[in-house]
Amino acid sequence: MISARSAARWHWKNPSVIPGFGLTLGFTLAYLTLIILIPLAALGWRSAALGWFDFFRLITDARTLGALKVSFSTALIAAVVNVVFGVITAWVLVRYDFPGRRVVDAIVDLPFAIPTAVAGIALTALYAPNGLIGSFLTPLGIKVAYTPIGIVIALIAIGLPFVVRTVQPVMQEISREVEEAAASLGANRFQTIFRVILPGLVPAILTGFALALARGIGEYGSVIFIAGNIPFVSEIAPLLIVIRLEEFDYGSATAIATIMLIISFLMLLLINVIQAWSRRRFGYEQ
């Protein structure tokens, strides 16, 4: 009886032969505290010092709302676009062996490596009305650079590797047999892809989406060059924070940062909940 009760008692950790639980957990917590929690707490502290009324007034300022809207909507659109093209890119890299596959595979990672400002300037040069691509789009009445479309393009470039790199390994593990089974049951290629392969990738796709979205919301370097930064039209929230800082308006900067943090946190939380549900739904966990 006694042993049964003690076995059922809640433990800090399950007994394990793997050593170092205390040490590694301690390190993780200290590390996260130092580089993430303390700065965020300082942010919360500063915005709390504003008081509810001021905080509310600052975040409902028309220009702030405009910037938040630009930031979140462009990041959302870019993440959705990245999901579509990222999955296709991953598919091509996993399923086909063609000359230069490794090169293409390496190119996917480039947005991780190049300074975002460089990417932004390069894209601006391409899409500006007198640029290589922009000069073709302008006669059609399509303006990319210095509009929200430009922001979306910059965020697509920055976010692509997140989707590709999260989906690719999961796609690699799909066995041929599963596809052959679908075919032997009479499913055509289209049905096999949309009813058998893609549903199994949903958790990975959601992860990639969340990463690309988070990256897009916080992106600064590449966007400010291509956006044109017109208040209410193409001014992103991170830029507005910098502008407020340069005006020594620390309260306003803090408030914008805090509300971005809250919205981002809620969005990522929601994605995580959906993801946990889909993992269960798609049988990854019992």
Partner 1 sequence: MEIRVEKIRKEFDLYPALHDVSLDIKSGELIALLGPSGSGKTTLLRLIAGLEQPTQGRIFFGNEDASYKSVQERNVGFVFQHYALFRHMTVAENVAFGLTVRPKAQRPPKAEIRRRALELLDMVQLSGLEKRFPNQLSGGQRQRVALARAMAIEPRVLLLDEPFGALDAKVRKELRRWLREFHDRTGHTTVFVTHDQEEALELADRVVVMSQGKIEQVGSSDDVYDRPNSPFVFSFIGESANLPVTVEGGAVFFHGAPTGLSAQRDGAARLFFRPQDVSLAQEGPCFTGPVTSSRRLAGTRIAEVELGSSDQPCHVEIEVPLDAAASNGSVLSFRPTRWKLFY
Contacts of 131 by beta carbon, 8 Å cutoff, 6+ apart: 124, 125, 145
**Residue 199 binds to partner 1 (criterion: CB under 8 A):** yes
32 near partner 1, judged by CB under 8 A = no
Near partner 1 by CB under 8 A: residue from 41, 88, 106, 178: 178
Closest to partner 1 by CB, 101 or 280: 280
Whose structure tokens read 């947005």? Answer: 111
Cβ burial 8-23 (10 Å sphere, 16+ → b, else e): eeeeeeeeeeeeeeee
Interface with partner 1, residue 173, by CB under 8 A: no
CB of 210 to partner 1, least distance (A): 19
Contacting partner 1 (CB under 8 A), which of 6, 184, 246, 248? 184
CA atoms of 40 and 42, how far apart (whole Å): 5
Burial 111-143 (b: 16+ CB within 10 A, else e): beeeebeebbebbbbbbbeebebbeebbeeeeb
Size, binding site for partner 1 by CB under 8 A = 23
Question: What angle, rounded to 10 degrees, do the helices at 198-218 and 148-172 form?
Answer: 140
Q: Are 267 and 76 in contact (CB under 8 A)?
A: no
CA–CA distance, 160 with 259 (Å, rounded to integer): 26
Cα gap 36→111, rounded to integer Å = 24
- Please, which residue, 74 or 166, has the CB nearer to partner 1? 166
**Cβ 193 to partner 1, closest distance in Å?**
12
Q: Which of 44, 200, 218, 221 binds partner 1 (CB under 8 A)?
A: 200
Contact assessment for residue 218 and residue 119, using Cβ atoms and an 8 Å cutoff: no
Q: Which is nearer to partner 1, 147 or 192 (CB)?
A: 192
Could you tell me if 87 and 93 are in contact, meaning their C-beta atoms sit under 8 angstroms apart? no
95 binds partner 1 (CB under 8 A): no
**Which residue, 14 or 184, has its beta carbon nearer to partner 1?**
184
Q: Binding to partner 1 by residue 246, rule CB under 8 A? A: no
Q: Using CB under 8 A, which of 40, 117, 133, 183 touches partner 1? A: 183
Instruction: Identify whether the C-beta of residue 180 lies closer than 8 Å to the C-beta of residue 171.
Output: no
Q: Does 126 bind partner 1 (CB under 8 A)?
A: no
* Residue 186 interacts with partner 1 (CB under 8 A): yes or no: yes
77 touching partner 1, by CB under 8 A: no
- Asked if 97 interacts with partner 1 (CB under 8 A), we say no
**169 scored as a contact of partner 1 (CB under 8 A):** no
The reply on whether position 172 binds partner 1 by CB under 8 A is no
Site residues (vs partner 1, CB under 8 A): 175, 177-178, 180-188, 191, 195-196, 199-200, 202, 281-284, 286
